[in-house]
Every structure is written in structure tokens, then in C-alpha cells.
Amino acid sequence: MNNSRISLAFKSFRQNRMAMICLWVLGLLYGLAIFADLISPYSYADEDRNFSYCPPTSIEFFDGPKIVPPFVYQKHLTFDAMHRRVFVVDRSQKYPLHFLRGGRLIQVDAPARLYLWGADARGRDLFSRICYGARISLSIGLIGVAISFIFGLLIGGMAGFYGGWIDGILMRVCEMFMMVPGFYLMLALRAAVPENFNSVQVYISVVLILALIGWASLARIIRGMTLSLRERDYVLAAKTFGVSDLGIICKHILPQTVSYSLATLMLSVSSYILAEAGLSMVGLGIQDPVPSWGNLLSNAMEIVPVIFAPWILLPGLFIFMAVMCFNVIGDALRDAFDPMFQD
């Protein structure tokens, strides 16, 4: 596959407007993750139980008819005649917003609280926790896919290049991983992880589990592509010049599969994000107070909080956006490189 054909494929990809929009959306999501310390008003663990399920804070720009610097009013929790929780706005004092103070883009003085997208059950700012949760959910997808991608390429390349009993053993191992439903295998592997692991150890465990269940299908496809590529003239010429088997696999065969693998990689990231979200929602993934989009949705598993605090569903919207963007980009890459597969 020459460079001119690759450049034409990427030119075709850039002409796909939906894919380019999705790239910008993903850029914004990863920007939230990278700059979470700056963008979010609070730390992910900053809580105030007096503001449990507090609705979004309204930012005011007018003091009567005059336009003034933005400020907020404090809210107080009370109960109505039906003993329902109600947050009442106290308009007796204004709390101005402070920008770029204390390493945060926007802040407000205590005792007022700034909840741009409302608060969760413990009175933690949902916007801040979504920003910090993006670091977990988006990085797990990329790192897990990268590990399974490398592993699947090497295993599939070796199986297709050598053939014979090596191919037979490696493909039977692949089939063992593929014959068990992925989610149940993931649950079984997660159950084997000790419960006393800290957040970093749980994160690494989840990444490795996701990588372990995702490499087999890629390896089988790469093996099929390698079976045809190993008979090409340039591979035979490399053998004649004494290039090692590993060198032939890594330098002459696997690069020819990158176009397909790149599209597959982008399509796989979304499944890894969903897998992490599923694990975290049932309490087997990232543990509170460390946020991920999956465990942020755990509050939404009961109907009462959803009815009275619908903003707790927002993490699901971010999961949906990330998954759709990766799928659209993966489809666009596959369509752009399809003419190469047909040659």
C-alpha cells in the first residue's frame, strides 16, 4: 500500500462532514478530561450534604434593569407542606463569580455553591465530576484498545505467517476467548480482582480485563489477511535477503493491515467505553468517590432520583456522544479505505 493511496483515503475521510464534526466533539470531550482541574469549579470529591440533589444554579446578569458582573444567589433546603425537599433561592445577598482564581476557571465564595448542571446525592457538583470522569472513561477506551490492538496484531500476524501447528494453537486460544460472551467473561475476570484494591489498581485491572477480552477477534482477522500477504513478492524478497521472521511480520506484513486495523480500532473504543460504564454501574468498575461516567450513572438506576433530579442522567448523554462519535469516525475510516481492500 503506497503513501499516495493512503493520502487519498485520508482526503476522502476529511470530506466526510459528519466524521469531522465527530472529531471536533471528541476533541471537546478530551479537552474536558485534560483540563478538568481548570474547567471544573470544584474537586470531584468536594461535597456538601446540605445540597443533595440541588438543581442547577442560575447565573444572574441583571440587577433590576442594570447589567452587572455575573453573580449567583445562595439556595437553602427546606420542605413543603407535603414534606418534599425544596430548594429556596435566598435573594438577600449576591455572590459574585470569580474567574481564574485558585487554579479554577470559575468559582463562587462560600456558603454559596455553583452547580452548573446540578448536584448528585452527596451534594457534589455534577459538572465537575463529569469533567473528571471523562479522564477515566475516555482513557480506559484508548488504553485498553491500544493494548488489545498490539496483542491482536502480533498474535494474528504470527499465526498467519507461520501457519501449521502454531496457527492451530493460537487460533484455538482465540476461540476459547471468543466462545464465552464478552460481558460475562468480563464479570468473571473482575470478580477475581481483590476487593481491597485502591482506585489506581482498580483502573489498571479494568484496563487489562477489557484488553484481554478484546484481542481475539482482531487476531483472527489479521491472521486471515496475513495468510494472503505472506505470499507477496516483497515478503519472499525479504526472506531471500535474510530478514528475520519478526522483522518481516512487523515491517512488511502488519503495516499492510493498518488501514483495516485503524478503522477497527476506532469502532472498538466505543465498546470499551460501554463495557467500563456497565462494570461501574453495577459496582464492579471504578469505585466512588473517583468518578467515571459509568459510576455517575449508578444514581440513575432508581426511578425516584430520576424523577426529582433528572440532571443525574447527563453522564449517559456524554457516554452516548462519545460512543456515537467513535462509531461514526470508524465507519468513515472504513469507507475511505474500502477501495484498498477491494484491490
DSSP strands (E only) in the chain:
60-63, 66-79, 85-101, 104-108
pLDDT band at 193 (very low <50, low <70, confident <90, very high): confident
Taking the C-alpha atoms of residue 136 and residue 207, their distance in angstroms, rounded to an integer, is: 10
- Per cent of the chain over pLDDT 90 is 19
pLDDT value at residue 317: 93
Q: Which long-range contacts (CB under 8 A, 24 or more apart) does 81-88 make?
A: 85/52, 85/53, 85/308, 87/51, 87/54, 87/55
Q: Look at residue 195 and give its three-state secondary structure.
A: coil
pLDDT value at residue 342: 45
CA dist 308 to 2, 134, 297, 305, 318, Å? 58, 25, 15, 5, 21
pLDDT value at residue 6: 65
pLDDT score of 255 more than 80: no
Taking the C-alpha atoms of residue 286 and residue 294, their distance in angstroms, rounded to an integer, is: 8
pLDDT value at residue 343: 46
Residue 192 C-alpha cell reads as 477475581
Q: What residues form DSSP beta bridges with 88?
A: 76
pLDDT band at 115 (very low <50, low <70, confident <90, very high): very high
| Cα-based torsion angle of the residue sequence 271, 277, 278, 283 in order, rounded to the nearest 10 degrees | 150
Q: Which amino acid is at 222?
A: I
**Tens digits of residue pLDDT in 1-39:** 455 666 776 677 778 788 899 999 999 999 999 999 999
Q: Residues 72-86: what's their mean pLDDT?
A: 82
**CATH 1.10.10.10, applies to 3-34+133-342:** no
Q: Residues 98-104: what's their mean pLDDT?
A: 86
**Tens digits of residue pLDDT in 264-298:** 788 788 888 888 888 887 777 788 888 989 888 88
pLDDT band at 338 (very low <50, low <70, confident <90, very high): low
* β-sheet with 85-101: strand ranges across: 60-63, 66-79, 85-101, 104-108
Mean residue pLDDT of the chain comes to 83
| Cα-based torsion angle of the residue sequence 5, 6, 10, 15 in order, rounded to the nearest 10 degrees | 10
Domain boundaries, the chain: 3-34+133-342, 49-124
Q: Is the pTM of this model over 0.75?
A: yes
- Burial (CB < 10 A; 0-12, 13-18, 19+), residue 254, is buried
Count other Cβ atoms within 10 Å, centred on residue 71: 17
Q: Residues 306-330: what's their mean pLDDT?
A: 90
**Tens digits of residue pLDDT in 221-251:** 888 888 888 878 888 888 888 888 788 888 8
**Tens digits of residue pLDDT in 135-172:** 998 998 888 888 888 888 888 888 888 888 888 888 88
DSSP state of 302: S
pLDDT score of 60 more than 70: yes
